[in-house]
Amino acid sequence: MHREPDGHRAKKSLGQNFLQDDNICRKIVDALDIGPADRIIEIGPGQGALTRFIADAAPGRFTAVEKDDSLADLLEAGFPSVEVVRQDALKYPWAELTEAQPCKIVGNLPYNIGSKLIWDIVSTATGMERAVFMVQHEVALRLTAAPGGKAYGGLTAWVKNFCAPRYLFKVPPTVFRPRPKVDSAVVLFIPLPPDSRPEHPEKLSRLLKLLFQQRRKQISTILRKEWSAGTEQWFADQGLDPRLRPENLSPEQLRALSVVF
Ligand code: SAM
């Protein structure tokens, strides 16, 4: 087990790989483009690698959500102006961050919950003005993939119905302590305008789960039990062959299909 100089033992179960490189921390925080009135939420501040640069940028209000109590103690002592929330970020009330509560969200995310957190945040925190997340490199490729390839999946199509994700840069294992086994990457998320977001997210979520659990099959085979005249007509109107694989449909097409099938 890795032990830090202050005695903190890095917990693998909480995805604790602490950033040691100030330039990378600065680049992540710069991508958030913090203005003096901005409300910032940091997920998993850990030992404060990013927290320090965010606090220096002097946002209007700064909340840090940390599950590990011993790290939360250190943060409260080191950053008295930051509101430290001791909570599982998966249970944080993201849906309460509406347009009336605009915010920017940042985090070097614990790898085991990165995809799930991003799924929830982009679809429920409607007041999110932008977000910058570090995730496993492979997840960054999935988040930003174009249709047609292996990296493109339910997560890609979901996120792109709410945001424009942009791959910013790759981060090697050498800049963390302890070192993870894989590369990481930083992704920027800019939300789509409110009227471009799905009206029926629950339908889209259901369809994506159905399709991408069996992504090697043809769409008509996967949806056979629920195939309707409306579905048939939709494919005809789009000039699309229902024998396509799920990965061949764009995020917009998947959204449209989720409403008619
Ligand atoms: N931001 C720090 C850095 O870059 O060095 C720490 C990043 S570390 C990859 C992930 C952090 O998220 C750890 O501090 C860990 O304790 C915290 N964490 C893990 N699971 C969490 C959860 N479910 N909710 C909130 N924080 C969590």
Atom nearest to 113 CA in ligand 1: 23
**Cβ contact 40:34 at 8 Å:** yes
Nearest CA to ligand 1 atom 18: 44
> How far is the C-alpha of 41 from the C-alpha of 107, rounded, in Å?
8
User: What is the 242 CA–ligand 1 centroid distance (Å)?
Assistant: 43
Q: How much distance in Å is there from the Cα of 93 to the middle of ligand 1?
A: 17
Query: What value does the mean pLDDT take over residues 146-174?
Result: 98
Mutate to test the pocket of ligand 1, among 16, 115, 177 (most ligand atoms within 8 A of CB): 16
Please give the number of the atom of ligand 1 that sits closest to the Cα of 42: 1
Inter-CA distances, 236 with 15, 174, 239, 240, 247, Å:
47, 52, 5, 6, 18
The Cα–Cα gap between 140 and 52 comes to 25
3-state secondary structure of 33: coil
**Ligand 1 pocket check: which of 19, 24, 67, 117 to mutate, most ligand atoms within 8 Å of Cβ?**
67
Distance CA(119)–CA(44), nearest Å, equals 17
Q: H or E element: which one contains 231?
A: helix 229-238
Helix 201-213 vs helix 251-260: crossing angle, to nearest 10 = 110
> How do residues 210-229 score in pLDDT, each as one tens digit?
999 999 999 999 999 999 99
The atom number, within ligand 1, closest to the CA of 89 reads: 24
Whole-number Å distance, alpha carbon 6 to ligand 1 midpoint, is 17
Tens digit of pLDDT for each residue in 101-142?
899 999 999 999 999 999 999 999 999 999 999 999 999 999
C-alpha dist (Å) from residue 29 to 25, 38, 161, 224, 261 = 6, 13, 25, 47, 42
Mean pLDDT of 149-171: 98
Rounded Cα distance, 59 and 56, in Å: 8
Which residues, in sequence order, are CB contacts of 166 under 8 Å at separation 6+?
A: 144, 187, 188, 189, 190
Nearest CA to ligand 1 atom 22: 88
* Residue of higher predicted confidence among 8 and 57: 57
Give the position, in ligand 1's atom list, of the atom nearest the Cα of 88. Answer: 24
Q: How many residues does the chain have?
A: 261
The pTM assigned to this predicted structure is 0.96
